[in-house]
Amino acid sequence: MAGAHIPERSLNETSTSHSNCEITEESKNGSNSEDMLRSLGSKRKREIMLLLSLFISVFTIALLLNFSIDELTTVRINLLFFAAAVFMHFLALFIWSIRLKVLSDFVVSRRLRQRAGKTEKPGSTNARNVRMNAREDVMHERLKIRDSLKIVFASLFGACITPSQFGGEPIRIYLLSKRALSIGESTVIVFGERVFDFFVVMIGAIFSVIFIYFVVEPALKPFFMVLCVSLIVIFSILSAVVLIGVDNPLKIRMAMDRVFGIVERFAARSRGHAIERFMERVQVELENFCSAISVIRDEGGVVVLKSFALSAALWSVDFCIPPLIMLSLYSDPAWIPSFAAQFILLILVSIPLTPGSSGVAEFGFTHIYKIIGIHVDAVFTLLWRLIVYYMNLILGGISSTIFLREHARRR
Contacts of 176 (CB under 8 A, 6+ apart): 100, 104, 143, 151, 185, 186, 189, 190
Which segment, 39-53, 170-184, 295-309, 319-333, is predicted with the most confidence on average?
A: 319-333
Please state the rounded mean pLDDT for residues 206-220.
93
Cα–Cα dist 193/201, whole Å: 12
pLDDT, greater one: 371 or 66: 371
Q: Looking at residue 311, what is its pLDDT?
A: 95
| pLDDT at residue 257, as a whole number | 65
Q: Which residues contact 8 (CB under 8 A, 6 or more apart)?
A: 14, 253, 287, 290, 291
Q: Which of 22-31, 93-102, 276-285, 300-309 has the highest mean pLDDT?
A: 93-102
Amino acid 11: pLDDT: 41
pLDDT score at 49:
67
Which carries the bigger pLDDT value, residue 318 or residue 297? 318
Q: Is pLDDT above 50 for 21? A: no
Is the model's pLDDT at 15 over the cut of 50?
no
- pTM of this prediction? 0.77
pLDDT at res. 117 = 55
Full 3-state SS string of 265-316 = HHHHHHCCHHHHHHHHHHHHHHHHHHHHHHHHHHHCHHHHHHHHHHHHHHHH
